[in-house]
Amino acid sequence: MRYSPIATSLFVRNREKIIAQLPENSMAIICGADQVHRNDELYRYRQSSDFFYLTGIEQEDSFLLLLPHGTLKHTQAILFVREPNPLMERWEGKKLTAAEATEISGIHTICSNNTFIQTIAELLPHVSTVFLNQSNNRRYKQVLTREMRLGHILRKRYKHIQLHNCAPLLNACRMIKEPEEIALMQYACNITEQAFRSVLKNIKPGMREYEVEALLWHTFIAEGVSHHAFEPIVAAGENSCFLHYQKNDSIITAHDSILIDFGAEYANYAADCTRVIPASGKFSKQQTLVYNAVLRVFYFARTQIIAGTSIEAYHKLVCHAMQEELLQLGLISTADVQNGIDGKPAYFKYFMHNTSHFIGLDIHDVGKRSDILQPNMVVSCEPGLYVPEWGFGVRLESDIVITETGNYDLMQNIPIEIEEIESLINE
């Protein structure tokens, strides 16, 4: 792994949260992520967020059983990993020994993954309920996960077993971050800051968008990052009006502003940042007006991210604030506000996405927009305006930790004011 070891106590506490919610005579089964093929090779492996949350183990073909007190004497967690195989290791490199798996996870019962199915079969006569982790956070569900495939087998062979989804238990726990998790997210944000400052030092007209992406990658790799938290967006000029633009292949001209939506993933924890910069070193008058309108809404939105509300609730307030800015910019009229545009609220023509999403082990982490916000949850704050007729869009985004008394911005050191951004580009 490219990051410093994480305290084993974090994974022990995470498992204890789930085990405490399991009823008697039950068992929870958590499977590691499948490897994904890229033609006749494999994509770089990324562990299931839930499995990593409970074990810290990033090795493929791993499985976890969680058992409430009393199901097995002195054993509440069994971890299954691949047995080291000298022939396979010749091709793939070293695999975890049992001792190394214990050191990372804090689990003392380590078994070969070849015994996983046999162990389940031996335990099933002693349990009446099985919790399978079938996350409802997946946008695309055409591909069956290991848990889904295992569920089909259990339903067919073991009629006496009640199957329940473990995802609601895991989601509720993952939403509230432990101090170690917030520290890892802060580190990811610090690396993201370094990458952005590198862009400010090197940006110039005539570059292609992917050259900016390369600057981000350079910093990330140098700082021990294995992945972007998501595919980065480097969108110059009118490309910035496309919300999920990812081609990153256009030439940046002197009059362009460039929207950069990016974030490091460090130790599997995500950062999510968006900033907008002028290629020439100075925003045009029109760009400045829109940028400052979005910045005012950003500062307002950040004050509304507090315990006791929900993303759904404060997004409505943000939409109202954005509508007022659009009126001042002359992009909509009072008649538009009263009547709507194309059957939607007037602001929707220029601001059509949510203000926030949860962040953690996934860039769009577990949690619903209607969930009540609590201390130690982390969400994005990302208002934006997209004006195709003016040829550019502006989105500003930071990651916000909710506290007992308010919140704080994990990206407070990443330049966001126009004066600072222009000054750093022109140094």
Are the C-beta atoms of residues 164 and 134 closer than 8 Å to each other? Answer: no
What CA–CA distance (Å, rounded) separates 167 from 163? 12
- Structure-token match 């140098």, residue found: 222
**325 — phi, psi (to 5°)?**
-65, -40
**363 — phi, psi (to 5°)?**
-65, -40
pLDDT for position 73: 60
357 labelled catalytic? yes
pLDDT for position 149: 83
What CA–CA distance (Å, rounded) separates 427 from 360? 35
Q: Which of 149, 157, 227, 244 is catalytic?
A: 244
Bridge partner list, 392: 387
272 labelled catalytic? yes
Cite the beta strand spans of 133-205 per DSSP E. 162-165
pLDDT for position 136: 57
Domain with CATH 3.40.350.10 in the chain: 8-175
Q: Which of 272, 325, 362, 365 is catalytic?
A: 272
pLDDT for position 189: 98
pLDDT for position 142: 61
Which distant-in-sequence residues (6+ apart) come within 8 Å of 150 by Cβ? 29, 31, 132
138 labelled catalytic? no
Q: Which amino acid is at 330?
A: G
The tokens describing 243, both together, are 């919300």
Are the C-beta atoms of residues 351 and 395 closer than 8 Å to each other? Answer: no
**Kind and range of the H or E element at 112?**
strand 110-112
pLDDT for position 152: 83
37 labelled catalytic? no
Per-residue pLDDT of the chain (427 residues; tens, 9 = 90+): 889 999 999 999 999 999 999 998 899 999 999 888 888 888 889 999 999 999 999 999 999 999 987 656 667 999 999 988 888 888 888 999 999 999 999 999 999 999 999 999 999 888 889 999 876 555 555 667 788 888 888 888 888 889 999 999 999 999 999 999 999 999 999 999 999 999 999 999 999 999 999 999 999 999 999 899 999 999 999 999 999 999 999 999 999 999 999 999 999 999 999 999 999 999 999 999 999 999 999 999 999 999 999 999 999 999 999 999 999 999 999 999 999 999 999 999 999 999 999 999 999 999 999 999 999 999 999 999 999 999 999 999 999 999 999 999 999 999 999 999 999 999 9
Q: Which of 256, 382, 399, 422 is catalytic?
A: 382
Q: Which of 181, 395, 399, 422 is catalytic?
A: 395
Sheet containing 407-409: give its strands across.
378-381, 398-402, 407-409
74 labelled catalytic? no
Which distant-in-sequence residues (6+ apart) come within 8 Å of 377 by Cβ? 175, 176, 177, 358, 367, 401, 402
Q: Which of 13, 197, 255, 364 is catalytic?
A: 364
Q: Which of 228, 362, 386, 399 is catalytic?
A: 386
pLDDT for position 197: 98
Classify domain 8-175 at the CATH topology level: Creatine Amidinohydrolase; Chain A, domain 1 (3.40.350)
Q: Which of 353, 369, 371, 409 is catalytic?
A: 353
What CA–CA distance (Å, rounded) separates 261 from 269? 17
CATH superfamily of 179-425: Creatinase/methionine aminopeptidase superfamily (3.90.230.10)
420 labelled catalytic? no
Q: Give the 3-state DSSP-derived string for 267-290, with helices as H, strands as E and coil as C.
A: CCEECCEEEEEECCCCCCHHHHHH
261 labelled catalytic? yes
Are the C-beta atoms of residues 164 and 130 closer than 8 Å to each other? Answer: yes
353 labelled catalytic? yes
362 labelled catalytic? no
Model pLDDT for residues 105-122, shown as the tens digit of each residue: 999 999 999 999 999 999
Count the residues in the chain.
427
Q: Which of 197, 208, 357, 369 is catalytic?
A: 357
What CA–CA distance (Å, rounded) separates 388 from 240? 9
Sign of the torsion angle spanned by Cα atoms 360, 366, 371, 374: negative
pLDDT for position 1: 81
Bridge partner list, 119: none
Instruction: Tell the burial category of 208 from Cβ atoms under 10 Å away from its Cβ (0-12, 13-18, 19+).
Output: middle
Q: Which of 58, 178, 397, 422 is catalytic?
A: 397
- Structure-token match 């910045």, residue found: 295
**221 — phi, psi (to 5°)?**
-65, -40
Q: Which of 38, 40, 342, 404 is catalytic?
A: 40
Nearest to 85 by CA among 76, 77, 95: 95
pLDDT for position 139: 54
